[in-house]
Structure 1
């Protein structure tokens, strides 16, 4: 394996991920990425001019495992990236309402005022809006309803940053800091329902006494919960893959290794997740359940690609993509296949 110092034209390997369960995040926290690739930089800790590359992927040495909205938006705008893996992790996708609202299921959403985060400066950073829109659609579908059956109320979305992505609270934020868009408006009675996901949203829902009207995770059809993190892509710059395929394979091998480790270390995974999501133990336990730690392995199965295609088509229809994305041309299968062989040979 080439060391970081031997990589031509790349000053540093960077790693970025959202505050959610990922095998690559575990591999970093366990020290395995650094052992394999050298001094890996975490984009969350980078200067702002580099940190923004989380959204546009204009950084040659970047590995990104995160929401598919920024990844697809960047690709639709010409970013030279390749898709090298997809994960699917159930992470508490729900529709929240106030107690006593009378909304106790998907059918009760008909006519409701639903929070919809405002557009941000770019399509990629408008992922909270995309998440809410698709999450609500998934809930309505369960009752045979459509987006036309609710009234959307625009709410402010927090300024996206690599350090506070997808609902993670800013460092030092107190328990009453409602960073999930729509939570504050729900508490004030300005909206009737809010789409939310993840451990921080669990904590914030508890703080305002919100209750779950629709548990999207409970529905047997995965298509009803296709969203920004389901499935979640791993992407790399095309030039990195072309010039240094061994680096990409090494990264993926450590990711697979961490997924294997996670399957037998639930407590360890939850400890790391509590740190990454800045959530309490109860929030992590509620948000990530049903054996999630046994299914962190990335793959490029047809099922996951078909689910990503549903998301891509939804984003295109609703204006989150500058142009259509050819998923088949985006996929690079060989690195993950080689990573599996590498891990098997090392066993």
Structure 2
């Protein structure tokens, strides 16, 4: 029996509300910065709650990251898996989002006489297909959405090209080396793999290089510069260069989700997490190069400077802004219309902005108390009346 034939099961530790687990994707987010700062852990210590990376416990395999079957798990990561979870698996709560313009590129071999999307008419474009059915096929959705958008911009459709499907095992989650505990920090995962050069994360690149296909989709900025650095690949289209922000959905925005059980029965835990994300996001906004150096350890930018260039205009404080909500809706609608989820839902109903709003209020209150203490005779909080500073 091969790895792909082996039944996969998402295993978890017993539920204990004195613990909160976190998981994230190797993307731009405050959580990926915080895993090195530890500010979120401090917020939970104030509550007497243990906060840890979900793979720290051997009972948790990798699949809770995709199916959210831990009630006390908070996830900050790519858009498509949590949409799938909320639509078809279990109810979750949308808490915030961080958006990076990474609509995607069309990659071809560097010496091929292909210079624009129109040159791909009648050519072969690859698309991956995960054989791991327990999890969402987020790579394929991203490729599908990006390819379709690029063709549409150039007055073409899928009928104008030959789409070549590449099934792959997508089974690294089940390999013994990836299940060795404990992992105290997501960065430990990437210590076990040369993730910036591991083609398991770029399953179509080999097919492009050897000429099996003529073009493949890849992410703008991330992956793009790693692939170009080989000298074997060039980009003939880049959606991130267009002014149309609605075409920048590429498993982004990264979103924060928790279970409805956590939100309804233990709101103080959600609030602690969101306070930390605001604090870390503000720090990252003020120290973009330091944040870039941290994120470079986990993401797929070329190096720390490339990471900085990718995040320098990104607001690292999570939000549920109107644009973020629209982009989440765009991603969800694509998944519905192309059969990647079975059930539709209203994104506005998914969001619970009260947690972000309350967290922001508490962060500002704490900041006021710190700053006012040295100026007022007896200190003071926001409820101090009749006192003017200055």
1:20 counterpart residue number? 27
Q: In 1, are the aligned partners of 2:78 and 2:254 still within 8 Å (CA)?
A: yes
Say which of 195, 200, 203 aligns to 1:181: 203
Say which of 227, 235, 239 aligns to 1:212: 235
Hey, what's the Cα distance between the residues in 2 that align with 1:342 and 1:176? 42
The answer to whether residue 275 in structure 2 is matched with residue 256 in structure 1 is no
2:96 counterpart residue number? 85
Say which of 358, 361, 383 aligns to 1:338: 358
How far the C-alpha of 1:107 sits from its partner, in A, is: 2.7
The answer to whether residue 69 in structure 2 is matched with residue 58 in structure 1 is yes
Higher gyration radius (CA): 2
The answer to whether residue 255 in structure 2 is matched with residue 233 in structure 1 is yes
The answer to whether residue 130 in structure 2 is matched with residue 122 in structure 1 is no
Q: Tell me, what secondary structure is at the counterpart of 2:297?
A: helix
How far the C-alpha of 1:292 sits from its partner, in A, is: 3.6
How far the C-alpha of 1:200 sits from its partner, in A, is: 4.4
CA change 1:216–1:227 in 2 (3 A) is same
How far the C-alpha of 1:325 sits from its partner, in A, is: 2.1
2:193 counterpart residue number? 172
5+ residue gaps, structure 1, are 1-7
Q: Tell me, what secondary structure is at the counterpart of 1:40?
A: strand
CA change 1:196–1:217 in 2 (3 A) is same
Q: In 1, are the aligned partners of 2:27 and 2:78 still within 8 Å (CA)?
A: no
How far the C-alpha of 1:308 sits from its partner, in A, is: 1.4
How far the C-alpha of 1:309 sits from its partner, in A, is: 1.3
How far the C-alpha of 1:169 sits from its partner, in A, is: 6.9
1:31 counterpart residue number? 38
Deviations 1:175-201 (A, max 9, x none): 764221211111101111111125345
How far the C-alpha of 1:344 sits from its partner, in A, is: 1.1
CA change 1:36–1:170 in 2 (3 A) is closer
Q: In 2, are the aligned partners of 1:132 and 1:195 still within 8 Å (CA)?
A: yes
CA change 1:288–1:188 in 2 (3 A) is farther
1:3 counterpart residue number? none
Deviations 1:11-62 (A, max 9, x none): 5211111011101221222110111114322124443744211111111111
Hey, what's the Cα distance between the residues in 2 that align with 1:227 and 1:240? 28
Give the total of aligned pairs.
335
How far the C-alpha of 1:152 sits from its partner, in A, is: 1.1
CA change 1:44–1:209 in 2 (3 A) is farther
Deviations 1:127-149 (A, max 9, x none): 11111101112222221222332
Hey, what's the Cα distance between the residues in 2 that align with 1:267 and 1:314? 35
CA change 1:22–1:104 in 2 (3 A) is same
Q: In 1, are the aligned partners of 2:32 and 2:295 still within 8 Å (CA)?
A: no
Hey, what's the Cα distance between the residues in 1 that align with 2:190 and 2:32? 18
CA change 1:29–1:143 in 2 (3 A) is same
CA change 1:218–1:280 in 2 (3 A) is closer
1:269 counterpart residue number? 291
Hey, what's the Cα distance between the residues in 2 that align with 1:37 and 1:285? 33
2:171 counterpart residue number? 159
Say which of 209, 216, 234 aligns to 1:194: 216
How far the C-alpha of 1:290 sits from its partner, in A, is: 5.6
CA change 1:215–1:63 in 2 (3 A) is same
Deviations 1:195-227 (A, max 9, x none): 112534532442362011111110111222212
Q: In 1, are the aligned partners of 2:21 and 2:72 still within 8 Å (CA)?
A: yes
How far the C-alpha of 1:120 sits from its partner, in A, is: 3.0
Q: In 2, are the aligned partners of 1:72 and 1:325 still within 8 Å (CA)?
A: no
The answer to whether residue 138 in structure 2 is matched with residue 104 in structure 1 is no
The structure with more helix, counted as a fraction of residues: 1
Deviations 1:267-312 (A, max 9, x none): 211211121127651xx54466365464122211222212211111
How far the C-alpha of 1:91 sits from its partner, in A, is: 4.2
TM-score by length of 2: 0.78
TM-score by length of 1: 0.87
Q: Tell me, what secondary structure is at the counterpart of 2:309?
A: coil
CA change 1:286–1:140 in 2 (3 A) is farther
